[in-house]
Amino acid sequence: MEKIILDLCGGTGSWSRPYKDAGYCVEVITLPAWDVTKVEFGNHAMEFVRQDVHYKDTKTVLYGDVYGILAAPPCTEFSLAKASAPVILRLVWRYCRLA
């Protein structure tokens, strides 16, 4: 089993770099290529959909392979104070279930 660290909204990946340096497989899922709100949850895996319309690829990660999750989403996207947008808590709860 591969030990995968998911770095969600990781930007440059600097937050997860120590894990990569320690030998973990780090998957940085961040804008503009990937949007963490565009994820499909299956029975055994999660599938991230690429944002670029020129590519139709996805990134599939098995739940059993996830060793850790680092998440630093933009506060404005997930804030309850942002009244004009729907609350996206489903995503947060799904990741919490993995822990």
Most confident of 13-22, 26-35, 47-56, 84-93: 13-22
Q: How far apart are the first and last CA of the chain?
A: 17
Q: Tell me the pLDDT tens digit for each residue of 49-87.
A: 887 767 778 888 888 888 988 887 665 555 555 555 444
The domain of 19 spans: 4-98
β-sheet with 45-50: strand ranges across: 34-41, 45-50, 58-62
Q: Is the model's pLDDT at 3 over the cut of 90?
A: no
Average model confidence (pLDDT) across the chain: 77
Q: Are strands 4-8 and 25-29 parallel, antiparallel or unpaired?
A: parallel
pTM: 0.69
Count structural domains, the chain.
1
* d(C-alpha 22, C-alpha 17), whole Å: 9
* Model pLDDT, residue 85: 47
* d(C-alpha 29, C-alpha 40), whole Å: 14
